[in-house]
Structure 1
Amino acid sequence: MDLGTAFDYAIERYPNKIALVQDHKVLTFQQLNEEVNRLAFSLQKLGIVKRDRVMALLKNRLETVCLFWAVQKLGAIFTPINLRLSPEDTQYCINDAEPKIVVYEKFSQRSVQCAKFNERPILISLDPDEGDLSYQELISRGIGDFSSFSHNDSDDIAVMLYTSGTTGVPKGVPRYHKNEYASTMAHIIQNRYEIFDSTLGAMPLYHTMGIRSLLSMCVLNGKYVLSPDFDVRKALALLAEEKITCLYMYPSMYLELLKDPRFSDFDLSSLQKIGYAGAPMSAALTKKCFEMLKPAHFINHYGSTEIYTFTTCSNLDKKPGCAGRPGIHQKIRLVPTDGSQASSSDTIIRPGEIGEITVQAESIEAFKGYWNRPDATRKAIRNHWYHTGDLGYFDEDGDLYVVGRVDEMVISAGENIAPTEVEEVLLQHPKVWEVVVMGEEDERWGQIVAAFIVPKDSSLTAQELDQFCKQHPKLSNFKRPRKYVFVNEIPKSPSGKTLRRELRKEHLTITEL
């Protein structure tokens, strides 16, 4: 199954069902298809053919959705990038992907204009006074019943996403039609979505989570509700007004949603299924989601751009923070972090022991390698296993817990300390809002545990936190922080991941014990 065909099937099934809502503009599947056809016709006239890259530097908006589907119908490769990337990283991605067309808007205009192209693409702007052509010109020149589409094989590339790594240049991740379709079906099953469900398009469409939300609603003839700029109050209003049934977001977005002082003013009784991915969710926030959103189904989805699903957990009421069991297309294992047996399929990591999480790279959800980066592919995929760089352990039930990154493990006096274990304890202190734990070099111990704290109360002291850790029954004494750094905020990437290098530079006050 290719994505263009999946879209056509949805139109044939229920042409008059609502497909998309944005700023009170409502499009049925048939109406959406007409705009997609006009755009596809004009893109074809501009020379877009199978396997061409069409790059989007756009927010989540109607134009982005139409561009996605038009590209699928032409057999080209939808290549969205984070429009908040620096001009330097934007230029790198454009020259790496070599798109024939770049579509951008006012927000990303500077990055496009500053870029020095190896080969200049055609520039399409949403603003009528910018670029070589405007988006509206393409629509006005198109044909609504255009049907001269390319036939796509399941092994053709449908999408190329760029990973938002915290170090180094972004890496292109080509995703085949079969990857995207299988991942979408897994997403529907894992989240227990049903026909005619609806969701808020909160996750950016340059991210695998955003693509999954869009495709799920297509397959189910569901309603996809967009707001180009994610605003908590507007999101609450849309959830209530559109009676949205499903929500899939970063943990940080749930945190902002639930702490809004007017949260109780909105009727969210239609919201039944919620899920999160992209970053860990604390036990405290998990509990708050249950209490305030009252979901019938709540899932933690653990995966990546490269392989959509690793594991999922849907009993978070009993096991908050748990990553759970492998997805329906998946097999995982833990390998030693010292590399001594990393290539052996017979390696045994006993329950409770920490190892690197690896995922079978032959899954139908898995990519085959990075774009133009054979070196990075060889490092990531070894002996048919994808090395995530994440650390985890299995509990006695066989459920997976993710405890950090291989390069984030704190080793103090020869003891391995998982940052998340210390973070979960500190988050239980009533005066702590957010916390990140890292290792800091120490002449005597090799490393000491350093905790970066965003306090709820300015009266919080390092001595108070140290006493709390000493008395906590779940934290061994050697794991307690020896340094506290009080900060105003925790810097994060667009996908909600902590930017640890930046955090070290931005501390305000340091107290060492």
Structure 2
Amino acid sequence: MTQAQAEVRSEVHQPAPSAPHGETYLEHLDRAVATSPDAEFLSFAEGPITFGEVDRRSTRMANALRELGVGAGHTVCTMLDSSADAVVIWFAVNRLGAIWVPLNTAYRGEFLRHQMADSSAALVVCEEHYLPAVGMIAGDLPEVRLILTRNGQGKSNAGDIRVRSLDDHRGTDDTPIDTRPKPGDTACLIYTSGTTGASKGCIISYNYLCACARQSNDSVPPRPGDTVWTALPLFHLSGSAYVVLAALLAQSRARVMSTFSVTNFWNDIEESRATSAILMGAMFQLLAQAPDNEAMLRCRGQLRAITGVPISPADREIWSERFGVARIDSYGYGQTEATKVCYLPHGAPMPPAGSAGPVSKDFDLMISDDYGNQVATGAPGEILVRPRRPNVMFNGYWKRPEDTVRVWQNLWMHTGDLGRVDEQGYLYFVDRKKDYVRSRGENISSMEVERAFLRHPAVSEVAFHSVSVTEGGEEELKVTVVLRSGQACTEEELCRWSMDQLPHFAVPRYVEFREGFPKTPTGRVQKHILREEGHTSATWDAHAFGLVARRRQP
């Protein structure tokens, strides 16, 4: 470590060291309340909340939830925008030893039904404006008994499910909860994208989430007075663990916005006094291409670090030169099952361009052939990982022991991703081993999209895939459809129908009707052929008709 690096290290917060047996974030909340109860912890659009307030409100909420029957081992689904309530409810559920199940707020239809039903939750807490999406599938949620709505009246039912206002169940009882989860206990279920089948719930422990938070602070160590800014949602680990819990462990401050706005970004950076930001793909480019404004000019150099992937070389230069950001961290590799296997610690040498960075000290990594044998240095193969200490990876798939066993072979977790490792030990991601689709920062289950399209009365067969639309490899979503005999439907009608059935990021831009699909001898659709054919003369383009799927505003 250089002298300059040592001086920077001496200026940062020094949170309690990780216990040898692991840790929970509820223990860290206790420490923060004991030392700095009135210090600001989180700031949302509706205002700030202190460590002490999170403690009091989550205790009262936990006592109220216990009166509703929530107990250890129970699951509670939430469908909430980023707010103080979202964090309070999350911590309240965990105080009871129950399991928090945060769901993507863009989900609807089969996407939403599958995860709510699979989690076996009896209680759902959602924003009032998401209640219609839950109501549409209420008849297919046999285990849900009660829905609490935030900012709602709660005087109606969703089918046979009672709907009540969250305000009536915030609680007033300050009696401490005697349940004390252990580091290896299940804190939450985070559902995978289901890129090779139905989405699966990853069983995530308390220590796993704390390990993610420590990685975030190890990458950008917070200094006294620092604030990290994000608009990433709390149902993703990037928002919940790498921002909220990172601030808790460091006893620092986080600004969490429920929506991202190019127009208001620099104003909020200035107002919140943010010194670092965790963003996602398109956000970097949109801000880099936006015109100057007074707040941006005043904030030049205020952000000392930005983190997120991907950042193009051109955008990296803009953020450095135009915005004065000293540290631009676009390195990392991980999955919900193990995040992050690779990341860039503060003070570490800059990795080669195109790499994911060095392997975390928490993991072993190997590149293997199809038989589990390690390949030569630099050769591509499947990325295999395993933990070097307890509870830094997922603890299996919820109610899917067979799938858990399937990914663990020869004491290694098989990621299904292809990569290579150079002589310096840096990982390079090569490709997905199996089919996957990605759009607007979200991994999408092609099977779930296809299942949704098959509910349309005119659709007989369907294949959902991505196609390249530019020489640079930019991809868009396409659905190829075989219509039922005697059924009439236009591409535009099908596209408009899908906007009501799918999350905005899963609505395909392209639609093509065919008489049949290229298939293997066993009857499987050969999607690689469809991808290679891409945009054909028979492909209908939604953008040519002014149709662009956008996230629904509450």
Equivalent residue of 1:388, what SS?
strand
| Deviates most, 56-65 or 122-131 | 122-131
Contact 1:331–1:359 (CA under 8 A) maintained in structure 2:
yes
Q: Which of 323, 333, 336 is the matching residue for 1:302?
A: 333
Letter in 1 for 2:359: P
Matched, 1:329 2:362: yes
Matched, 1:5 2:23: no
Match of 1:354 in 2: 380
Contact 1:19–1:221 (CA under 8 A) maintained in structure 2:
yes
Contact 1:89–1:169 (CA under 8 A) maintained in structure 2:
no
How far did 1:209 drift? 1.1
* 1:362-390, Cα deviation, whole Å (9 max, x unpaired): 65311121011223212322122122222
* Count of residue correspondences: 432
Quote the Cα distance in structure 2 between the aligned partners of 1:499 and 1:375. Answer: 30
Contact 1:156–1:177 (CA under 8 A) maintained in structure 2:
yes
Quote the Cα distance in structure 2 between the aligned partners of 1:487 and 1:386. Answer: 31
How far did 1:166 drift? 3.8
Query: Are residues 197 and 510 of structure 1, via their aligned partners in 2, closer, same or farther at CA, if it must alter by over 3 Å?
Result: farther
How far did 1:98 drift? 1.0
* 1:258-291, Cα deviation, whole Å (9 max, x unpaired): 22224564215331122114xx443333333333
Contact 1:197–1:220 (CA under 8 A) maintained in structure 2:
no
Matched, 1:383 2:383: no
Contact 2:305–2:327 (CA under 8 A) maintained in structure 1:
yes
Contact 1:54–1:102 (CA under 8 A) maintained in structure 2:
yes
CA RMSD of aligned residues (A): 3.5
Quote the Cα distance in structure 1 between the aligned partners of 2:130 and 2:430. Answer: 36
Structure 1: state its 5+ residue gaps.
410-449, 455-464, 466-480, 490-497
Match of 2:110 in 1: 88
Match of 1:169 in 2: 198
Quote the Cα distance in structure 2 between the aligned partners of 1:77 and 1:382. Answer: 28
Letter in 1 for 2:167: Q
Query: Are residues 372 and 322 of structure 1, via their aligned partners in 2, closer, same or farther at CA, if it must alter by over 3 Å?
Result: same
How far did 1:330 drift? 1.3
How far did 1:215 drift? 0.3
Contact 1:316–1:322 (CA under 8 A) maintained in structure 2:
no
Matched, 1:117 2:141: yes
Match of 2:181 in 1: 152
| Deviates most, 129-138 or 68-77 | 129-138
Contact 2:270–2:295 (CA under 8 A) maintained in structure 1:
no
Match of 1:446 in 2: none
Letter in 2 for 1:122: L
Quote the Cα distance in structure 1 between the aligned partners of 2:95 and 2:224. Answer: 23
Match of 2:249 in 1: 219
Contact 1:176–1:367 (CA under 8 A) maintained in structure 2:
yes
Quote the Cα distance in structure 1 between the aligned partners of 2:362 and 2:292. Answer: 41
* 1:81-120, Cα deviation, whole Å (9 max, x unpaired): 1121122121111111111310011342122112221212
Contact 1:174–1:371 (CA under 8 A) maintained in structure 2:
yes
Q: Which of 432, 449, 452 is the matching residue for 1:405?
A: 432
Quote the Cα distance in structure 2 between the aligned partners of 1:311 and 1:94. Answer: 31
Equivalent residue of 1:16, what SS?
coil
Match of 1:369 in 2: 396
Matched, 1:272 2:304: yes
Quote the Cα distance in structure 1 between the aligned partners of 2:420 and 2:511. Answer: 31
Bigger relative contact order, structure 1 or 2 (CA pairs below 8 A, ≥6 apart):
2
Query: Are residues 156 and 318 of structure 1, via their aligned partners in 2, closer, same or farther at CA, if it must alter by over 3 Å?
Result: closer
Quote the Cα distance in structure 2 between the aligned partners of 1:488 and 1:261. Answer: 30
Contact 1:247–1:273 (CA under 8 A) maintained in structure 2:
yes
Q: Which of 115, 119, 125 is the matching residue for 1:103?
A: 125
Equivalent residue of 1:331, what SS?
strand
Quote the Cα distance in structure 1 between the aligned partners of 2:300 and 2:187. Answer: 35
Quote the Cα distance in structure 2 between the aligned partners of 1:282 and 1:219. Answer: 31
Query: Are residues 35 and 89 of structure 1, via their aligned partners in 2, closer, same or farther at CA, if it must alter by over 3 Å?
Result: same
Match of 1:142 in 2: 172
Match of 1:197 in 2: 226
Matched, 1:255 2:279: no
How do 1:30-49 residues align onto structure 2 when only pairs under 5 Å count? 30-49=52-71
Equivalent residue of 1:326, what SS?
coil
Match of 1:457 in 2: none
Query: Are residues 102 and 296 of structure 1, via their aligned partners in 2, closer, same or farther at CA, if it must alter by over 3 Å?
Result: same
Query: Are residues 328 and 191 of structure 1, via their aligned partners in 2, closer, same or farther at CA, if it must alter by over 3 Å?
Result: farther
Quote the Cα distance in structure 2 between the aligned partners of 1:389 and 1:286. Answer: 29
Equivalent residue of 2:417, what SS?
strand
Contact 2:232–2:238 (CA under 8 A) maintained in structure 1:
yes
Quote the Cα distance in structure 2 between the aligned partners of 1:357 and 1:263. Answer: 44
Contact 1:195–1:220 (CA under 8 A) maintained in structure 2:
no
Q: Percent identity?
A: 23
How do 1:171-190 residues align onto structure 2 when only pairs under 5 Å count? 171-190=200-219
Matched, 1:320 2:319: no
Quote the Cα distance in structure 2 between the aligned partners of 1:375 and 1:505. Answer: 36
Equivalent residue of 1:11, what SS?
helix
| Deviates most, 220-229 or 502-511 | 502-511
Letter in 2 for 1:228: S
| Deviates most, 251-260 or 502-511 | 502-511
Letter in 1 for 2:121: P
Matched, 1:210 2:239: yes
How far did 1:169 drift? 2.0
Quote the Cα distance in structure 2 between the aligned partners of 1:248 and 1:137. Answer: 35
* 1:199-243, Cα deviation, whole Å (9 max, x unpaired): 224221111111211100111122222222222223332212111
Quote the Cα distance in structure 2 between the aligned partners of 1:271 and 1:485. Answer: 29
Query: Are residues 500 and 61 of structure 1, via their aligned partners in 2, closer, same or farther at CA, if it must alter by over 3 Å?
Result: closer
Q: Which of 442, 446, 452 is the matching residue for 2:468?
A: 452
Equivalent residue of 1:348, what SS?
coil
Quote the Cα distance in structure 1 between the aligned partners of 2:380 and 2:82. Answer: 39
Quote the Cα distance in structure 1 between the aligned partners of 2:166 and 2:225. Answer: 30
Contact 2:300–2:324 (CA under 8 A) maintained in structure 1:
no
Match of 2:99 in 1: 77
Query: Are residues 384 and 508 of structure 1, via their aligned partners in 2, closer, same or farther at CA, if it must alter by over 3 Å?
Result: same
* 1:134-170, Cα deviation, whole Å (9 max, x unpaired): 122222x423x33123111122111111112345322
Contact 1:166–1:499 (CA under 8 A) maintained in structure 2:
no
Contact 1:257–1:263 (CA under 8 A) maintained in structure 2:
no
Equivalent residue of 1:244, what SS?
coil
Query: Are residues 389 and 487 of structure 1, via their aligned partners in 2, closer, same or farther at CA, if it must alter by over 3 Å?
Result: closer
